[in-house]
Amino acid sequence: MILFFILFLTFLPRTVQAAEKKQGGGKGKITCSVKKGTLTISGKGAVTYSQIKVKNKGKIKKIVVKKGITSLPKWAFVDFKKVKEVVIASSVNTIAEGVLPNAKTLKKVTIPGTFYFDLEVSDDVYGSLENGRSRIDTVYFNTPLSLETLAYVSSNHLIVSKKDKKYKSIGGVIYSKNGKSIVRVPAYRKSLKVAAGCEEFCLQSVMYANRDIEHNASLTCRSLSKITLPRSVKTVDEMKYFADCYAFPRLTEMTIQTKRLDSRSILSILACIEFKDEEGFLRQFPYVNIKKGMCVNSRDDCLLRYTGKAADVKVPDDVKKIGRNAFLRKKIKRCVIPDTVSELEDHVFYDCGKLEEVRFPKALTAMGSHVCSYCRRLDHVVFPHGISKVPKAAFKRCDSLRDMTLPDTVTTIEESAFEDSSVPASILLQGNIKEIKYHAFALDEWYGLVGWNELVLPATVEKVDAYAFVMRSLERATVCGSTAGIHAKAFAHVWNKATTLTLTFEKGVEEWQTNLFLRSGGAADVEFEWHDITGVDGWQIQVSRDPLFTGESKTYYAQKGMTHMDLHDDLFVMDYVRIRPFKLIDGNMCFGRWDMDTLKRN
């Protein structure tokens, strides 16, 4: 008994200490003391909500979290309604949502510049440190800043730590350390005058965002309506200092004092900031000529915008380049582009719902993405000779496009180039196509479009990505060349895996391949199907737990005419399945290429 009592006294302190650690107490207890209206939280480790014990919260004017505390819980100070200032020590590395007081009086907050933001998994929103009624005037950061932090707290002024090596504050706005780039504008600012000496206007400074309850980007600088760029600004950048997500601000006024901005910078502003009067914005630049709605930068002969209302338009003869979004959503029907134009940037005719005809210039050598996306009345296009690729999403959702002429110079069909378009299958026989990328000819028949019944892939085609031809209507596909670069799932579709597609290969059996669909399965059984092949005599199927099939595996065979199989084996776990066709030649099995898939458990 005496020995037991000695051991009990020996281990008792350790037991108490372990209990304190479990509660977040660390080396000592969490203590809350109140003196002259200031609540001070001291100790080591994490703080729990129940540890913040104050009798009269309405008398607290200031909250200080001392060094040593490492974590603050959700809604830690929400009930302190009269607080004017909160100071959170640099040792705090985890802060939960809604930690700050729900107080109209709260004006000053000091927090670490970098911490882990603790948001409940059940929440469908990133959240904030703030609560509904608070409107903070100034936020001070006592450690170097991480830009993600700024999505969690809003204020009129942001003051970074003097020890921060990346950023500094000028007038409560965050700039790069050398002051040449603007980084972040406080959320509550209604107007912004960029500091003199700043040379780069970074659009993320006003585009940075949080996420709303539907997980969409929610603009942080919602109140901002006016911006002034000083003479020192030379360039505009869209993505520098990007943190998590962004949204597009809407301004009533943007004053441009600088005369140094080139077309790229002007187009970046127009693409990222919504203006009620784009033409009024462009008139600030003395080198932008505006005639009949055609806004042209005389320095590089770039058409920046068409602001007119005519149905038939002709681009001026001196234009050499048409900038991004130049005719975005305009109600034009026809557009004539002179042969002086050598480049079309992204989204030039995007969503021009009434556009029926566009004549591309012979001198065109560069074309951006989404050039004619959603031009749903466009019915005929002669593609220019000077371009080797049909760009990404160039003719996406062109429902009426039934006549397309590709020159021999075209070798690549980029991603989604004709997705949800009405181009005929004969387009594959035009040009000199060598590569077809993901979703290039995908078709969602829920839009009421009719897909192809059959297609012929010419021998010139060397590479085809998976899901390049997503069409439920497809019944026959003929491959004339090698399948070495053609993905086995090139003709697969993702909405309904059941298919009646039959593949034909004009080259030898070695080039044959099918597409394996694993539909369902458990540890000991699997259901799958595949595309049929003209002339096939059967199928070899293997299952294994090893993706390389070098370990234990089992082999099965399916006869000609089968395109579906259910396997069950209580003694063998199946994680991977692969299949290849074979043809009997002189009594020997000649095999095609394997296609493998991974079993997804129910």
pLDDT category, 24, cuts 50, 70, 90? very low
Query: How far is the C-alpha of 461 from the C-alpha of 225, rounded, in Å?
Result: 52
Please tell me the predicted confidence (pLDDT) of residue 29. 86
Please tell me the predicted confidence (pLDDT) of residue 494. 53
Q: Which residues pair with 530 in a beta bridge?
A: 516
Q: Which of 5-14, 212-221, 339-348, 363-372 has the lowest mean pLDDT?
A: 5-14
DSSP 400: T
Query: How far is the C-alpha of 23 from the C-alpha of 21, rounded, in Å?
Result: 5
Please tell me the predicted confidence (pLDDT) of residue 10. 42
Query: How far is the C-alpha of 72 from the C-alpha of 39, rounded, in Å?
Result: 15
Contact between 324 and 305 under an 8 Å Cβ cutoff? The reply is no
Residues 456-468: what's their mean pLDDT?
A: 97
pTM above 0.75, yes or no: yes
Joined tokens for residue 208: 């940075």
Nearest to 499 by CA among 471, 526, 538, 468: 471
pLDDT category, 22, cuts 50, 70, 90? very low
Contact between 39 and 60 under an 8 Å Cβ cutoff? The reply is yes
pLDDT category, 601, cuts 50, 70, 90? low
Contact between 246 and 217 under an 8 Å Cβ cutoff? The reply is yes
Q: What does the pLDDT look like over 271-322, one tens digit per residue?
A: 999 998 999 999 999 999 999 999 999 999 999 999 999 999 999 999 999 9
Flag whether pLDDT at 185 surpasses 70.
yes
Contact between 253 and 276 under an 8 Å Cβ cutoff? The reply is no
Contact between 590 and 583 under an 8 Å Cβ cutoff? The reply is yes
Query: How far is the C-alpha of 437 from the C-alpha of 416, rounded, in Å?
Result: 8
Q: Which of 61-70, 116-125, 407-416 has the lowest mean pLDDT?
A: 116-125
Please tell me the predicted confidence (pLDDT) of residue 521. 62
Rg (CA), the chain: 33
Please tell me the predicted confidence (pLDDT) of residue 518. 82
Q: How far is CA 282 from CA 112, 263, 265, 279, 442, in A?
A: 42, 11, 12, 5, 39
Query: How far is the C-alpha of 279 from the C-alpha of 599, rounded, in Å?
Result: 57
Q: What is the mean pLDDT of the chain?
A: 90
Nearest to 202 by CA among 238, 227, 151: 238
Please tell me the predicted confidence (pLDDT) of residue 600. 62
Flag whether pLDDT at 478 surpasses 50.
yes
Query: How far is the C-alpha of 287 from the C-alpha of 341, rounded, in Å?
Result: 19
Q: What does the pLDDT look like over 97-142, one tens digit per residue?
A: 999 999 999 999 999 999 999 887 544 445 789 887 889 999 999 9
Q: What does the pLDDT look like over 135-181, one tens digit per residue?
A: 999 999 999 999 999 989 999 999 999 999 999 999 999 999 999 99
Spatial CB neighbours of 445, under 8 Å, sequence gap ≥ 6: 451, 471, 472, 473
Q: What does the pLDDT look like over 490-529, one tens digit per residue?
A: 998 754 455 689 999 999 999 999 999 887 666 677 888 9
Please tell me the predicted confidence (pLDDT) of residue 6. 40
Residues of the chain with pLDDT > 90, as a percent, come to: 79
Query: How far is the C-alpha of 599 from the C-alpha of 384, rounded, in Å?
Result: 46
C-alpha torsion sign, points 498, 502, 505, 511: positive
Please tell me the predicted confidence (pLDDT) of residue 12. 37
Spatial CB neighbours of 12, under 8 Å, sequence gap ≥ 6: none
Flag whether pLDDT at 17 surpasses 50.
no
Please tell me the predicted confidence (pLDDT) of residue 568. 85
pLDDT category, 20, cuts 50, 70, 90? very low
Q: What does the pLDDT look like over 310-369, one tens digit per residue?
A: 999 999 999 999 999 999 999 999 999 999 999 999 999 999 999 999 999 989 999 999
| Sheet of strand 167-170, all strands in order from the earlier edge strand to the far edge | 167-170, 173-176, 182-184
Q: What is the 3-state secondary structure (H, E, C) of 425-487?
A: HHHHHCCCCCEECCCCCCCCHHHCCCCCCEEEECCCCCEECCCCCCCCCCCEEEECCCCCCEC
Task: Return the C-alpha torsion angle 463, 466, 467, 473, nearest 10.
Answer: 70
pLDDT category, 557, cuts 50, 70, 90? very high
Flag whether pLDDT at 580 surpasses 90.
yes
Please tell me the predicted confidence (pLDDT) of residue 573. 76
Higher pLDDT, 202 or 216: 202
Flag whether pLDDT at 2 surpasses 60.
no
